[in-house]
Amino acid sequence: MKFFLDTANLDQIREAYAMGVLDGVTTNPSLMAKEGIKGKDNQYKHYIDICNIVGGDVSAEVIATDYEGMVREGEELAALNEHIVIKLPCTEAGIKAVKYFAGKGIKTNCTLVFSLGQALLAAKAGATYVSPFVGRLDDISEDGVGLIEDIVEMYNYYGFGTMVLAASIRHTRHIIDCLKAGADVATCPLPAIKGLLKHPLTDSGLAKFLEDYHKVNG
Ligand code: E4P
């Protein structure tokens, strides 16, 4: 399973890259706003900065909600860097735009997916990635990981090539559960990835090894 970082924060992206576990990045308008990046020129420059750190797929989301606008904006974004993946909402216009970009060999990430039916349409349109939002489904007492399982099963059964990108990951347990469900990618906040390292037996085992070493070596 690949790890994408779900942030537009350059320091966190550098840190995850330095750990050697970073395969890509996903952004959205809220994450860009969180970093205080205003205006199209600054936003486009920021996407290029992210691509230059990661060297893997970087999802950049369109703001347009109509088909023509999505195509125009998506083409501008795709021209920024070879690693840009056009992120399009799972709406009628978004699905049409996924189909358009698939026909041009440009990667897409169909986002804001909350149902099996939406995932089916994204795959039929030729999306590179589909992004089911695990945490937001859990927030309304639905089963986010259950949706990942269902989509993985459907894609395998019908032989769809679209990759399942588990999004809206909130904590380490979500990562483990999406891994077990067969997600191709999990896009995560950095603390959730670092949480995978934590185990009390690792801490106590290391402390004991060092204690024994120092008993003999001073
Ligand atoms: C990433 O592609 C999504 O936009 C993101 O994971 C949404 O996460 P949130 O539900 O925590 O805002």
Out of 6, 26, 108, 110, give the residue to mutate to test ligand 1, the one with the largest number of ligand atoms within 8 Å of its CB.
6
**Distance between Cα 215 and ligand 1 center (Å):** 49
Tokens describing residue 166: 């588990």
Cα(95)–Cα(60) distance, rounded to whole angstroms? 16
Those residues with Cβ within 8 angstroms of residue 106's Cβ, 6 or more apart along the chain or in another chain: 74, 78, 86
Tokens describing residue 208: 């004991």
- Assess whether the C-beta atom of 4 lies below 6 angstroms from ligand 1: no
Give the residue ranges of DSSP H helices in the chain: 10-19, 29-34, 40-54, 67-78, 92-103, 116-125, 134-139, 144-158, 172-181, 190-194, 200-217
Out of 63, 168, 185, 187, give the residue to mutate to test ligand 1, the one with the largest number of ligand atoms within 8 Å of its CB.
168
* SS3 at position 83: coil
pLDDT values of the chain reduced to their tens digit, one per residue, 218 residues = 999 999 999 999 999 999 999 999 999 999 999 999 999 999 999 999 999 999 999 999 999 999 999 999 999 999 999 999 999 999 999 999 999 999 999 999 999 999 999 999 999 999 999 999 999 999 999 999 999 999 999 999 999 999 999 999 999 999 999 999 999 999 999 999 999 999 999 999 999 999 999 999 98
Burial class (CB in 10 A: 0-12, 13-18, 19+), 155: buried
Cβ pair 183, 213 in contact under 8 A: no
The predicted structure's pLDDT at residue 218: 86
pLDDT digits (tens, 9 = 90+) for 107-130: 999 999 999 999 999 999 999 999
Which residue minimizes the CA distance to atom 7 of ligand 1? 168
- Assess whether the C-beta atom of 111 lies below 6 angstroms from ligand 1: yes
The predicted structure's pLDDT at residue 20: 96
CA atoms within 13 A on the CB side of 188: 26
**Distance between Cα 130 and ligand 1 center (Å):** 13
**Distance between Cα 210 and ligand 1 center (Å):** 41
Cα(75)–Cα(104) distance, rounded to whole angstroms? 10
CA atoms within 13 A on the CB side of 20: 0
- Assess whether the C-beta atom of 168 lies below 6 angstroms from ligand 1: yes
Q: What are the distances in angstroms from CA 210 to CA 37, 197, 198, 199? A: 46, 19, 18, 17
